């Protein structure tokens, strides 16, 4: 009987720790970029501090894909990015 109570306590403690750890997850800060204007050159540089990634994990979705803008990381950690072009 004591063995069963001990197991129940361990399961309860483990479950409580898992449930509470979700409360302390980091929040991501969303950065809103300025709108580009048609036929006007656009350039912005932004740095995603502490969010470095590797080249095979860096993905950009442009909508529409033929907007005239390009996105290029400018350092080896891919945490500073240039968006430029003329839409």
pLDDT tens, N- to C-terminus, the chain (87 residues): 778 888 888 887 877 777 666 666 555 566 678 888 899 999 998 887 666 667 777 777 887 888 888 888 887 777 788 889 998
- For 45, phi then psi, to 5°, come to -120, 130
User: Which sequence spans correspond to the domains of the chain?
Assistant: 2-85
Q: What pLDDT was estimated at residue 84?
A: 93
Contact 85, 37 (CB under 8 A): no
Beta bridge partners of 73: 81
Q: What pLDDT was estimated at residue 40?
A: 93
Q: Report the distance separating Cα 83 and Cα 33, nearest Å.
A: 10
3-state DSSP call for residue 61? coil
């Amino acid at each position: 009987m004591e063995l069963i109570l001990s197991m129940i306590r361990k399961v309860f403690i483990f479950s409580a720790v898992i449930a509470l750890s979700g409360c302390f997850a980091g929040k991501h800060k969303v950065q809103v970029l300025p709108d580009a204007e048609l036929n006007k050159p656009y350039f912005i540089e932004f740095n995603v501090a502490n969010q470095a990634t590797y080249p095979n994990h860096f993905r950009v979705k442009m909508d529409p894909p033929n907007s005239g803008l390009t996105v290029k990381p400018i350092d080896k950690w891919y945490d500073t990015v240039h968006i430029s072009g003329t839409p």
